[in-house]
Homo-oligomer: A and B are copies of this chain.
Amino acid sequence: MITLTPAAAADRAGVSIDTLRYYEREGLIGPIRRSAGGRREYTEDDLFWIGMVTCFRDAGLGIADLRGFVAILRAEHSPQERVVFLRERRAALEQRVAALCRAMEVLDEKIAYYS
């Protein structure tokens, strides 16, 4: 199985090595497999998962939110529970979008005023 070094993984994920380790400590990713010497070896699966985490982080979800997300997707939960949780998260994101849209409207007003 082809794996990536921490530096390569961080580069691919667009975050720092420290951040990757931090996410692992927080239980957001991994645990990442280690080489005989103790170095982390990131698989494509790891990278995929990391991509999901960074996607949500970019969207502004907090570490605690993501821990919940991980728990829901990994642990034993009924599909119903998962769907409820996921829909809640989605609604929260929609509210953020709404807040952004309000702010953009204000900006548009100002832009129109000064144009």
Is A47's beta carbon under 8 Å from chain B?
A: no
Is A13's beta carbon under 8 Å from chain B?
A: no
Interface size on A, residues (CB 8 A): 32
Is A12's beta carbon under 8 Å from chain B?
A: no
Pair A106/B55 contact, Cβ less than 8 Å: yes
Least Cβ–Cβ distance between A115 and chain B, in angstroms = 6
Listed residue (A61, A87, A104) with the most chain B CB atoms within 10 angstroms of its CB:
A104
- Which candidate, A22-30, A31-39, A78-86, is the interface stretch facing chain B? A78-86
The 0/1 profile, CB within 8 Å of B marked 1, for residues 83-110 of chain A is 1001101100110110111111011101
Q: Chain A residues in contact with chain B, CB under 8 A? A: 52, 55-56, 58-61, 73, 79, 82-83, 86-87, 89-90, 93-94, 96-97, 99-104, 106-108, 110-111, 114-115
